[in-house]
């Protein structure tokens, strides 16, 4: 069986994160892109911090911190794939 | 260029060079009370030129160029040379402005604070800006508001107010003593007539104001208002800015600060009087 990939958030100095209302704005220096994001994107970045985690580790931490009743690994993988594509998260 | 003039609008200096005399003469007449660029040095050059030398005389059509150019911009007939000069200045701002975050918005000031009104063409920006001026507000501009990332203040750009179609007579009735340019028929936006900003707008054009209210007006609907969340306001203002991406993080910081600090409202209105009452009521309630 293939090893699960680990994920690491883009370095904090490359991101400007501004929570507004329901949505959060993220400016990503490396790409010059502005992202308007909803939960769980800011929570994922915060939980990853400067650590590398597998999807399962991340889901466990998110569930604990945010009291997720319906923690869904497939949905999290989907979000992580989007974040990797936009450069907000790196897949190791 | 054979005919040249220069002028300053808000903090921006322009030099306009033209193959024909008439457009420059009109610009000089309508902008007679505006200052010249500081030290005579313009920020942007506008060129109004004939496609071929003989086209200065034969079916003359005005091409718009300058420091920044749109390759496929359609020329205008010489009778619309004033419009070409205005479009040329707008184009330089839209494509070349780097210091300020350029918001496609009308702005008016009262007591040092500004209302910004943004929306697509036809939303009523120019009409509302002109009518607010008629009611004692300081006109800061009908097309661009310049947000300074360093201070969070808005600088005005009180160029000639570009009135279109039905709004021409509405504003002429509200400002019977104002100076207007010629009626330009058959332009790409219908009939256009330019209104000269009043003496106060010109005298105070270098004074920035603190943004206090952001409005998204929409003409042709029953009167209605709704609050706009900062995130929606942010997205709509990035769409209303031609240089947001160019300013990179400075633009991001300026705009996030604006939408966090300043309330936004969407405002539907059926006619200008209703809109003015709505604007002034929202202003009083701040």
What is the tens place of the pLDDT at every residue in B114-146? Answer: 999 998 777 899 999 999 999 999 999 999 999
What does the block give as tokens for B211?
């943004």
Dist. CA B84–CA B183, nearest whole Å: 14
Low-confidence winner among A70-74, B191-195, B202-206, B270-274 (lowest mean pLDDT): A70-74
Contact state of A22 with B234 under an 8 Å Cβ cutoff: no
B200, B138 contact by CB (below 8 A): yes
- Closest-CA residue of A relative to B252 is A27
Closest to A57 in 3D by CA, of A85, A27, A28, A80: A80
- Candidates A13, A16, A19, A20: best to mutate against B (most CBs of B within 10 A) is A20
Q: Which residue has the higher pLDDT, B120 or B40?
A: B40
Edge to edge, the sheet with strand B190-195 lists B161-164, B190-195, B184-187
pLDDT at A2 (0 to 100): 57
Q: Residue A18: list chain B partners with CB under 8 A.
A: 256, 260
Looking at chain A, the whole-number percentage of residues with pLDDT higher than 90 is 84
Per-residue pLDDT tens over the stretch B267-278:
999 999 999 999
d(CA A36, nearest CA chain B) in Å: 8
What does the block give as tokens for B29?
């007449």
- Candidates B227, B228, B231, B235: best to mutate against A (most CBs of A within 10 A) is B231
When pLDDT is cut at 50, 70 and 90, the band that residue A90 belongs to is very high
- Closest-CA residue of A relative to B248 is A32
What does the block give as tokens for B16?
């306009």
| Domain limits, chain A | 6-86
Here the ipTM equals 0.87
How far out from the chain centre does Cα B257 lie? 23
Per-residue pLDDT tens over the stretch B62-112:
999 999 888 877 899 999 999 999 999 999 999 999 999 999 999 999 999
State pTM to two decimals.
Answer: 0.93
Q: Sign of the C-alpha dihedral, residues B149, B37, B159, B132?
A: positive
B23, B184 contact by CB (below 8 A): no
Contact state of B256 with A20 under an 8 Å Cβ cutoff: yes
The reply to whether B239 touches chain A by the CB within 8 Å rule is: no
């Amino acid at each position: 069986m293939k090893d699960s990939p680990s994920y690491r958030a883009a370095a904090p100095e490359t991101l400007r994160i501004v929570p507004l209302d329901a949505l959060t704005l993220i400016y990503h220096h490396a790409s010059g892109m502005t992202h308007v994001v909803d939960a769980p994107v800011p929570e994922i970045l915060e939980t990853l911090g400067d650590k590398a985690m597998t999807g399962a580790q991340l889901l466990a931490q998110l569930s604990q911190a945010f009291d997720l009743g319906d923690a869904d690994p497939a949905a999290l993988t989907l979000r992580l794939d989007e974040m990797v594509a936009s450069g907000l998260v790196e897949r190791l | 260029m054979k005919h040249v003039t220069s002028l300053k609008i808000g903090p921006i200096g322009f030099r306009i060079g033209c193959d024909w005399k008439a457009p420059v003469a009109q610009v000089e007449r309508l902008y007679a009370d505006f200052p010249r660029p500081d030290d005579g040095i313009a920020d942007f050059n506008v060129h109004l030129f004939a496609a071929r030398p003989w086209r200065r005389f034969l079916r003359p059509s005005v091409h718009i160029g300058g420091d920044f150019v749109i390759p496929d911009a359609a020329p205008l007939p010489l009778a619309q040379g004033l419009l070409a000069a205005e479009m040329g200045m707008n184009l330089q701002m839209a494509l070349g402005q780097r210091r300020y975050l350029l918001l496609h918005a009308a702005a008016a000031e009262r007591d040092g604070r500004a209302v910004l009104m943004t929306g697509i063409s036809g939303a009523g920006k120019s009409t509302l800006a002109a009518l607010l001026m008629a009611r004692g507000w300081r006109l800061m501009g009908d097309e661009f508001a310049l947000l300074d990332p360093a201070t969070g203040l808005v600088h005005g750009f009180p160029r000639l107010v570009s009135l279109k179609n039905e709004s021409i007579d509405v504003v002429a009735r509200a400002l019977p003593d104002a100076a207007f340019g010629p009626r330009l028929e058959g332009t790409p936006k219908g009939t256009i007539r330019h209104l000269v900003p009043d003496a106060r707008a010109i005298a105070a054009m270098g004074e920035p104001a603190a943004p206090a209210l952001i409005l998204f007006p929409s003409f042709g609907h029953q009167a209605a208002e709704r609050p706009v969340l900062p995130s929606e306001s942010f997205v709509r203002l990035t769409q209303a800015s031609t240089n947001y991406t160019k300013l990179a993080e400075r633009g991001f910081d300026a705009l996030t600060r604006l939408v966090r600090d300043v309330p936004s409202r969407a405002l539907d209105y059926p006619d200008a009087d209703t809109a003015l009452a709505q604007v002034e009521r929202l202003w009083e309630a701040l």
